[in-house]
Amino acid sequence: MQKRKIAVITGSTGGIGSAIADQLAMAGWDLVLVNRNEKKASQQKAALRAAHPDAVVDLVQADLMDIPQIKAAAQTIIAQHPQIDALYNNSGVLTSERVMSVQVHESNYAVNTLAAYVMAQALRPALRRDDNDTNTMIVNTTSSAHNSAKSLDTETLSAPKVIGGLTGAYATTKLALTTMGTAMADMLQGEGIMVRSVCPGAVVTPMTKTSNAMPGILKLLVPLFFNAPEKQAAKMIHAAKIDSFGGRTGIYITNGKEKPLPKLALDQDVQARLMAKLALDAAL
């Protein structure tokens, strides 16, 4: 019998994360769900177990606005699952209010970029494959909003002067996430770990329905024109398949289609500055 695969999903209680969890369980994966809200996570686990009795669903609690909690969550995961097959860095925030993390990073940066870096680095031992035959996958849930960020200033990433709306700190921190993805894809290739930056497209979720950073007019259009999470989750899962998209790492996929990476995400100097900042911030 084929060994069941294990995926770690952050923010599985949200719109897209929840649909990814459900579809992976249906496809025969076991799940480790990393969330801050224990009640919501427990309810989700019960629903998943009822719908997919064969699936093992483990819950790990962590607020991604606190780096020690992310590292502790990763240690718990590795203790239970020395090998995992995929990490969906799905959690994200879209806010125009200034909210600071425990380590005093602005929340868009803390959750959208730094938490994904810390989780990926901390889970690296479990994702690593030395057999030259198998690969594992890190999917960083980015956003096509990264195209509206015209610069990536590592000096102001964690303390931007203006938070702004969809095209403000959110866009910049998603550009940072995409850039991190290209840098990490090169760095981790020798370990059998692939990294893809994947945007789900426009999706009806609590984020797009309620965020104060969504332009008012766009918010009105959400129920009319945005896609259902189930439809876009299927595209995310396809984008995470090792063999899809020619089996390539370090690419950007949006709404199921590969698109060119932003120029800044390919700039070696920008990558080097960003990776140095992330390493510094991750060390506390």
Q: Are the beta carbons of 81 and 136 closer than 8 angstroms?
A: no
Q: State the nearest-atom distance from the C-beta of 132 to ligand NAP, in Å.
A: 32
How far is residue 250 from each of residues 141, 142, 156, 235, measured CA to CA in Å?
Answer: 13, 13, 25, 17
Q: State the nearest-atom distance from the C-beta of 108 to ligand NAP, in Å.
A: 9
Indicate the residue among 35 and 158 with the shorter CB distance to ligand NAP: 35
Residue (of 283, 252, 7) closest to 122 by Cα position: 283
Q: State the nearest-atom distance from the C-beta of 110 to ligand NAP, in Å.
A: 7
Indicate the residue among 15 and 250 with the shorter CB distance to ligand NAP: 15
Please calculate the CA angle 189-193-196 and round it to the nearest 5 degrees. Answer: 95
Burial class (CB within 10 angstroms; exposed 0-12, middle 13-18, buried 19+) of 83: middle
Q: State the nearest-atom distance from the C-beta of 57 to ligand NAP, in Å.
A: 15
CA 52 – CA 22 distance, rounded (Å): 8
Residues in the site for ligand NAP, rule: CB under 6 A?
11, 13-17, 35-37, 40, 63-65, 90-94, 111, 141, 143, 199-200, 202-203, 205-208
Indicate the residue among 194 and 253 with the shorter CB distance to ligand NAP: 253
Residue nearest to ligand NAP (CB): 14
Grouping H, G, I as helix, E, B as strand and the rest as coil, residue 10 is: strand
Please calculate the CA angle 76-115-277 and round it to the nearest 5 degrees. Answer: 125
Q: State the nearest-atom distance from the C-beta of 86 to ligand NAP, in Å.
A: 16
Indicate the residue among 135 and 211 with the shorter CB distance to ligand NAP: 211
Indicate the residue among 16 and 278 with the shorter CB distance to ligand NAP: 16
Residue (of 171, 166, 187) closest to 262 by Cα position: 171
